[in-house]
Structure 1
Amino acid sequence: MVSSSVASPLLTLRYASLDDVAQDLDMVIQSCSEGEWAWDGASESEREGWQQFVQDPTSMPRSKVAGLAGKLQVAKGFSLSFALLSQSQDDGKEQKATVDVSAPTLSPEEAAKIKTALQIRSKEWQQDGIESLFLFDLLTTTQTLVADLPDQSQAETLDKASSEARPSKPSQAAPKHIELSRALFWSHHLKAPSKLKDFNNWCPELGIWGIVRVGYPGYLCFEGETSAVDEMVRRVKGLQWHAIQLRVQTAWNWTGEQWQHKESGRRSPMEQALLSCALAKGHPDNAFADKGGEGKVRTGCQMIENLGELVTRLKECGLAEDEIETVLGIHISG
């Protein structure tokens, strides 16, 4: 699926077909704000042709797609470059593309750390059910990594959400409990890049964990502080859907006595409560949370394409089998 080495390029992506390449690029481009994506080193006619390919991969001869390249600005002074390689001589269907990082404003240590993290993430794709949306996953991973850099304002997102969720306290006394809840949706389908972009933005904004299955049907799983989850439910219902159902919604009270963690003394009650959530277990955005109790807890949205991978993921989170069956609408054997 992917190979990497210390030499340039950073990563070589392996797509099953040109359709997968087009779908991945379409997801990325539609998730970008104006000016964040640019076709690289192309004439006007090439740019128009490549854009047409992304929207309809059958509309372009294969010979005109080779050489396709673009650059994605993730943050100021930080970008990902993408280049589709020429078709191999065996005329197989597999398509290769390269990805590299440009970070002239970062220190060599910071740039190396992000590159290593992206290489590690690429090795997790098969386990996490990422079958084709490679560049889109690298984009969301990089956004999380960039948010951890010292001078990034995004790093304050969860702190803001957590402080808004906490009750006002005239003294230093910790709250006796925090109400948490989980909401699980079924939808007829989930393919629109605009919706995926919303969930990628809303989960860290609201300070909740998200796991989303992309495809037919679509599934949306959210967990966190109750008022934040309620707000997510409101936003989800406010989007345009062919059909959507809130199939599971449950709430409970978290208290410090109910959850013991080796770093709990160094974290706020809200962070402890978020770490106790079922969806936090094994969540890719929770990767750095336990580093000596110093790393900030950062929530986010995990995208999964394969239904079987979603079932496995929810089981690993510890959700009850009847809860999983209720949201999926299928019987789980074994």
Structure 2
Amino acid sequence: MAPSSYSSAAATALLTLRYASLEDVAQDLDMVIQSSSQGEWSWEGASEEESRKWIDFIQDPVSVPESDTAGLAGKLNVVDGVSLMFCLLSHPHGQEAEGGREAVVDVSAPTLATNDVTRIKKAVLDRSHQWRTDGVESLFLFDLVTTAQTLAADLTASSESTLDAPHTSPDTRTTDAHPAHIELARALFWSHHLKAPSKLKDFNNWCPELSIWGVVRVGYPGYLCFEGEAEAVEEMVKRVKGLQWHAIQLRVDKRWTWMSDERKQGAREGRSAREQALLSCALAQEHPDNVFVGQGAEAKVRTGCQVIETLGDLVTRLRRCRLSEEEIEEALGIRMSNSNSNSNQ
């Protein structure tokens, strides 16, 4: 998407993002760029001087004149052949004093079939419609990247690819004579702080790789919540400890056994026992990457990492997962009020 006027860019783009301030724009772009691998982000239609100005804007938006952001546009390579295009819009004539800024996002996937491109665009739009309900007020592009990565990876994979990880064994179907038993686990970490966007890159990659549901709260303090098959959670715990952060504690390490039941919806949809077990996890409930209920076994379950910005939102999220108040208190290190929730595990 080349830099363009307000009217033409807004008219042709897939989605318009409405930021409260330029500082929010800079923070969103900083999160996206810092959590991406080298070479995945590129500036569009920019001279070397413009690129330097835009980098300065992201690093310190207050010190950069607003005029230096004119025409700011970039592209993120989500997976091979699929990109998200971002363009910051200029203020419409006569509205310069109203505050806030708008940007537009589009999907570019010239090598994919038209139907697949349509599916990715629909997933991006559907996710944006959930922002009000989920309380997402900033980091819009960062949130959309996760959605696009999940679906694009599925579409560009071969038809033989399955939801797997190095630790997994072949799926057990619930049509077997005996019910399947799968060990699940949940691990909740406390960290003194979690601010650097680069730290989120690992979790954005590891959660899908290990088939783990992740919920991460950024800020002071930071929290890491992971749930999935016990072996996968063990591997995640090992990797987190291997990061050697100065102040981090594993506060909850819980295990239980899931047993298949042919009467449940997942079994009726023809899902494998392993996928049913993953969908039964507490953190899977209302997770933005959990879009598979009711779609049938042809829609592969793919997990991901959800980023939450405030402690209050994290408490609400964990309560809606039906974790016990005792477990939430233990993980967060705070005393809860209205201790009346019960856990399913």
TM-score, structure 1 normalization: 0.89
Please state how far the C-alpha of 1:58 moved relative to its aligned partner: 2.2
Tell me, yes or no, if structure 1 residue 261 matches structure 2 residue 254.
no
- 1:112-191 matches, within 5 Å, as 112-149=118-155, 151-152=156-157, 156=161, 158-161=163-166, 164-166=167-169, 176-191=180-195
Cα gap change, 1:154 to 1:231, in 2 (>3 Å)? farther
Please state how far the C-alpha of 1:22 moved relative to its aligned partner: 1.0
Cα gap change, 1:7 to 1:155, in 2 (>3 Å)? farther
Please state how far the C-alpha of 1:72 moved relative to its aligned partner: 1.2
Tell me, yes or no, if structure 1 residue 92 matches structure 2 residue 95.
no
The answer as to whether partners of 1:147 and 1:153 remain within 8 angstroms in 2 is no
The answer as to whether partners of 2:79 and 2:153 remain within 8 angstroms in 1 is no
Please state how far the C-alpha of 1:156 moved relative to its aligned partner: 3.6
- Residue 204 of structure 1 is aligned with which of 204, 208, 226? 208
Corresponding residue SS for 2:13: coil
Tell me, yes or no, if structure 1 residue 25 matches structure 2 residue 12.
no
Corresponding residue SS for 1:146: helix
Please state how far the C-alpha of 1:71 moved relative to its aligned partner: 1.1
Q: 2:342 matched to which residue of 1?
A: none
- Structure 2 counterpart of 1:140, which letter? T
- Structure 2 counterpart of 1:261, which letter? K
- Residue 104 of structure 1 is aligned with which of 110, 117, 133? 110
- Structure 1 counterpart of 2:264, which letter? H
Corresponding residue SS for 2:107: strand
Please state how far the C-alpha of 1:153 moved relative to its aligned partner: 5.3
Over residues 74-113 of structure 1, what are the superposed CA-to-partner deviations in whole Å (9 max), with x where a residue is unaligned?
1222211111112453423311111111121122222122
Tell me, yes or no, if structure 1 residue 301 matches structure 2 residue 310.
no
Please state how far the C-alpha of 1:241 moved relative to its aligned partner: 2.6
Please state how far the C-alpha of 1:70 moved relative to its aligned partner: 0.8
Deviates most, 133-142 or 73-82: 73-82
Tell me, yes or no, if structure 1 residue 37 matches structure 2 residue 27.
no
- 1:234-253 matches, within 5 Å, as 234-253=238-257
5+ long unaligned stretches in structure 2: 1-9, 339-345
Over residues 24-63 of structure 1, what are the superposed CA-to-partner deviations in whole Å (9 max), with x where a residue is unaligned?
1111112222221111111111101111111121231111
- Structure 2 counterpart of 1:129, which letter? G
Q: 1:225 matched to which residue of 2?
A: 229
Corresponding residue SS for 2:337: coil
Runs of 4+ in 1 over 6 A off after TM superposition: 172-175
TM-score, structure 2 normalization: 0.86
5+ long unaligned stretches in structure 1: 1-5
Cα gap change, 1:85 to 1:119, in 2 (>3 Å)? same
Cα gap change, 1:80 to 1:312, in 2 (>3 Å)? same
The alignment covers a number of residue pairs equal to 324
Q: 1:71 matched to which residue of 2?
A: 75
Please state how far the C-alpha of 1:128 moved relative to its aligned partner: 2.1
The answer as to whether partners of 2:45 and 2:73 remain within 8 angstroms in 1 is yes
Q: 2:17 matched to which residue of 1?
A: 13
Q: Distance in 2 between matches of 1:291 and 1:94?
A: 38
Q: Distance in 2 between matches of 1:166 and 1:289?
A: 23
Cα gap change, 1:242 to 1:119, in 2 (>3 Å)? same
Please state how far the C-alpha of 1:240 moved relative to its aligned partner: 4.2
Over residues 188-207 of structure 1, what are the superposed CA-to-partner deviations in whole Å (9 max), with x where a residue is unaligned?
22122222111111011111
- Structure 2 counterpart of 1:9, which letter? A
Deviates most, 223-232 or 272-281: 272-281
- Structure 2 counterpart of 1:22, which letter? A
Alignment RMSD: 2.5
Q: Distance in 2 between matches of 1:154 and 1:307?
A: 41
